[in-house]
A and B are shown apart, each in its own frame.
Chain A
């Protein structure tokens, strides 16, 4: 699963 809108990692 990939959150395409929000990427929390730097």
Chain B
């Protein structure tokens, strides 16, 4: 554990709770892509199967359980409790076009051909693109509430901080995992456009709107 990794995890946790609080307080999931949330649910459920096979630390176990539960609650709020507010007409990204090729890629390109390792690889690849339905939705409607943009910023920052953590670990522990690194870089790059808009608009107190 190092400071970058810890900051990344806190940023990730913050993102998930910003989204939950936004939905709960406004009693609405307007502007939120349910598809992205389902993809994140799949990411956590396939990656954290090792909860049942290996104990790493209390921190590790608690964080995994929180990520899974909080994401499942978010999915419940979007598709059940506040379903009437879910903007499904604008949540039209074809998520299966991500999931199917990624499942194939995980089977072909992995560290070890075993069930848990392939599922872990699938979750790493899938996480890198899971935000695409949400970004697509924002570009389609041309706007995002300020709180939604805080959510996206925290979520993007998380993987960016993990990259710094990987650089740190490479020099201090000679540890690297190229699957995580490549996918993490792709994931962070997807947010670049958004980061630019966030810094130039949201921080200056303006609503986020994207050029058509």
Contacts and interface: CB of A to CB of B under 8 A. Distances in A.
Given A1-B175, A2-B111, A2-B177, A8 B67 contact: no
Contact of B63 (A2, A7, A10): A10
| Tier of interface size on chain A | under 10
Grouping DSSP codes into helix (H, G, I), strand (E, B) and loop, the A interface class, with mixed when no group exceeds half, is: loop
A7 B120 CA distance: 10
Grouping DSSP codes into helix (H, G, I), strand (E, B) and loop, the B interface class, with mixed when no group exceeds half, is: helix
Interface string B112-139: 1000010010000000000000000000
Given A1-B174, A2-B177, A8 B60 contact: yes
Contacts of B67: 10
| Tier of interface size on chain B | 20 to 34
Given A2-B111, A4-B112, A9 B63 contact: no
B12 interface: yes
B10 to A, nearest CB: 11
A9 B57 contact: no
A5 B116 CA distance: 9
B174 A8 contact: no
- Counting chain A CB atoms within 10 Å of each CB, which of B9, B57, B174, B177 scores highest? B177
Interface of B: 1, 5, 9, 12, 50, 54, 56-57, 60, 63-64, 67, 111-112, 117, 120, 162, 165, 174-177, 180
Given A6-B56, A7-B50, A10-B9, 6 more contacts: A1-B175, A6-B50, A8-B1, A8-B60, A9-B162, A10-B64
